[in-house]
Amino acid sequence: MVRHVEIDGQEELTAAAIARRIGVGRAAVSNWRRRYDDFPGPVGGNGTNPTFRWVAVADWLERSGRAGQLARAGRTETGTQALDGPTGGWATRDEPVERARRNVVAEQRLARVLVSLLPPTVAAGAGDDDLFATADDLPVVFDPACGDGTLLLAAADRFENGVRLFGQDIDERLTRSAALGLRGHPLAGPYDVRLGDSLRGNRFTELLGKAAAVVCEPPFDRPGWPADELATDRRWEFGRPAPRDGDLAWVQHCYAHLRPRGTAVVAVSPRACVSLSGQAIRNLMIGKGALRAVIALPAEMSAMAGETCLWVLRRPRGDEEDEPVVLVDFSAAVDLAAVPQQFGEWRQLFGLAMPGGAGRVRPGPAPTRAVSRARLLQDGEANVLPSRYVTTEAQAGADDIALVTRQLEAVHARLGAGLPHYAAARAGGDFAYVTLAELERVGALKIRPRGTTPHAGDVLVWPRTPGVIAATGEERTDSMTTHIIEPDLARLDPDFVATFLRPEVEAVPIPRTIGVLGREDLRRCRIPRLSIAEQRHYGAEFRRLSELRTALTTLARLGTTVIDQTLHGLTAGTLTPDRLPPMTPTHKENL
């Protein structure tokens, strides 16, 4: 359980307390005091253990580009939130080691996808025919297997303080970590994290039938649930799950907490879509209109072994049983960025399948099909694996494949002419360098405060790959953006600055110790001192190489699709193994 406390802006903290609050080592605070003259001086204590005014330290963190540390400190509009317990919610020494063993990047990516499938907090103008419409706000987002709070933090990123966040987990260390993360989120609203086994001992019975949204990636690596103990549990609205169908137990557990028209997104294994023992449960979920969409994701999208499917559920209110089920197959996606992470993108993707009701496979970033509930139930199997409907029935004909093949050949020809062929640098042609501090001093660039809107031509520094990019003007800075550099375009080329700055930023070792690149460390980074004409020459080639990388990635994905569809056509009988003659030059000219 958590309680809410207010941070007094005048409170005094020791260096050790500051380090604990912002999630760094005590040595980092000592290092800041030695290296930076503008670090706030002590206001109390004694020579060996001085105290510092927290409001001054927080202001320094903001000014020095270390605002990411304030997120760990839990500074919010309404105060911060703390854990009850002997550790005060702070992680134990072995937690980072355990977290490092997991694929944290995959977990965070999956969390963003799950949360993006939830409807907005207020569905302004949404009609009853909207797949995920809701009549009012989302007061509660619940994760019954919250782990270290990755999904809840993603919900806080999206909905900010417009929702209440509730989580439960069987692992005490993970619940402490989840509460600590929510406490440190700068925009999270009220939250409640409780310890316990959700299936054996639900600590949130008061949420049954009340939650507006539930998100969950069930812990499939833990022992199965006790079927005998829970045989008559009222959560089994669609039937008692077999012990081997643990994911169907979690699905029903999540669904049981939904209010009318509430939405749940649950990650399950593909077995949940096809298992014979779960057939009766799937039949009822389909027949009663509870299952709204099934999305197959590539294996790289999950920390679990193998592919993952997302079940999107909604508790019907009124006569909604006739609405089709949308099936989306991203399982073969080469580019993980093709999987939407915005609700609007999902709405558009589902819209491709919806016109005309249950219809054929629609074009888009992934094969998508709206299948009628009668069709799903007609063979008695209630098989909802997307590949059954959107891959095997999407049979490309010989003319379709020939057309795509000709396009591929033309793309290959254009790419061949654009491959890099550069001359060797002359001997003794080493660069002369200038630091960003010098450029800032002469007005050639400005380092703007984080959180300001980037414009085309700005250079963004953030802990992603790549870590430094030239902005196009379409980016939205978030809590991860560290610095925004505004160059004088008459004196500096943005692509030149970004590309040469990237290895400099990556070589700075301090983010490993204090968690963020400081503004002073950024100012010490260097770029070559060249004329604007030379910079633009380099920048044009950098853009060309970036576009080439994107084209080759797209080409690889398109080529894989052509090969897969050709293999399917040969095995399904729509193609013969008789090869056609190569495309003639005349055909190429007509493309």
pLDDT digits (tens, 9 = 90+) for 429-450: 678 899 999 999 999 999 987 6
Please count the helices (runs of H) and the strands (runs of E) in the chain.
Answer: 21, 20
Q: What is the mean pLDDT of residues 450-477?
A: 73
Do 139 and 186 lie in a common domain?
yes
Residues 40 and 174 in one domain: no
- 562 assigned to some structural domain: no
19 plus 116 within the same structural domain: no
Q: Does residue 167 sit in the same domain as residue 311?
A: yes
CATH number of the domain at 227, please: 3.40.50.150
Q: Which two tokens stand for residue 122?
A: 């207020």
DSSP output for 68-125: HHHHHHT--TT-EEEE-STTTTPPPTTHHHHHHHS-HHHHHHHHHHHHHTSPPSS-TT
HEC profile of 235-247:
CCCCCCCCCCCHH
Q: Specify the residue for token string 């903001």.
A: 62
What DSSP character marks residue 506? H
**Domain assignment of residue 411, yes or no:** no
Domain stops at, among 511, 529, 547: 529
Nearest to 562 by CA among 404, 387, 403, 406: 404
- 222 with 317, same domain: the answer is yes
- Provide the pLDDT for residue 366: 63
Same domain, yes or no: 187 and 123:
yes
**pLDDT over 60 at 512, yes or no:** no
Distance CA 323, CA 326 (A): 9
What would the mean pLDDT of 365-393 be, rounded to a whole number? 79
Residue 481 domain boundaries = 433-529
69 & 197 share domain: no
Q: How many domains does the chain have?
A: 3
- The predicted structure's pLDDT at residue 403: 67
What CATH number should be reported for the domain holding residue 18?
1.10.10.10
- Do the domain assignments include residue 122? yes
- Model confidence at 62: pLDDT above 80: no
> Residue 406: pLDDT above 80?
no
Q: Is residue 357 part of a domain?
A: no
On average, the pLDDT of the chain sits at 75
- Among residues 325, 359, 379, the one where a domain terminates is 325
| Per-residue confidence (pLDDT) for residue 132, from 0 to 100 | 44
CA 194 – CA 190 distance, rounded (Å): 14
Assigned domain for 374 exists:
no
> pLDDT at position 21, please?
73
* Together in a domain, 138 and 224: yes
- Mean pLDDT in residue range 311-315: 94
Q: Classify residue 144: in a domain, yes or no.
A: yes
State the Cα angle at 368 between 366 and 372, rounded to 5°.
165
Least trusted range by pLDDT, from 47-56, 184-193, 244-253: 47-56
Q: Select the highest-mean-pLDDT range: 106-110, 172-176, 468-472, 481-485.
A: 172-176
pLDDT band at 108 (very low <50, low <70, confident <90, very high): confident
Q: Please provide residue 198's backbone torsions phi and psi, each rounded to the nearest 5 degrees.
A: -60, -40
184 and 301 part of one domain: yes
Is residue 563 assigned to a domain?
no
Q: Which of 295, 325, 355 is the last residue of a domain?
A: 325
Same domain, 50 and 185: no
Q: Is the pLDDT of residue 417 over 70?
A: no
pLDDT of residue 304: 55
Determine, yes or no, domain membership for 514. yes
Percentage of the chain exceeding pLDDT 90? 22
Mean pLDDT over residues 323-337, rounded?
82
Mean pLDDT over 392-409 rounds to: 63
Q: Tell me which H or E stretch contains 436.
A: helix 436-441
542-565 confidence digits (pLDDT tens): 888 887 777 777 777 777 777 777
CB atoms within 10 A of CB 395: 15
**175 and 252 housed in the same domain:** yes
Do 170 and 312 reside in the same domain of the chain? yes
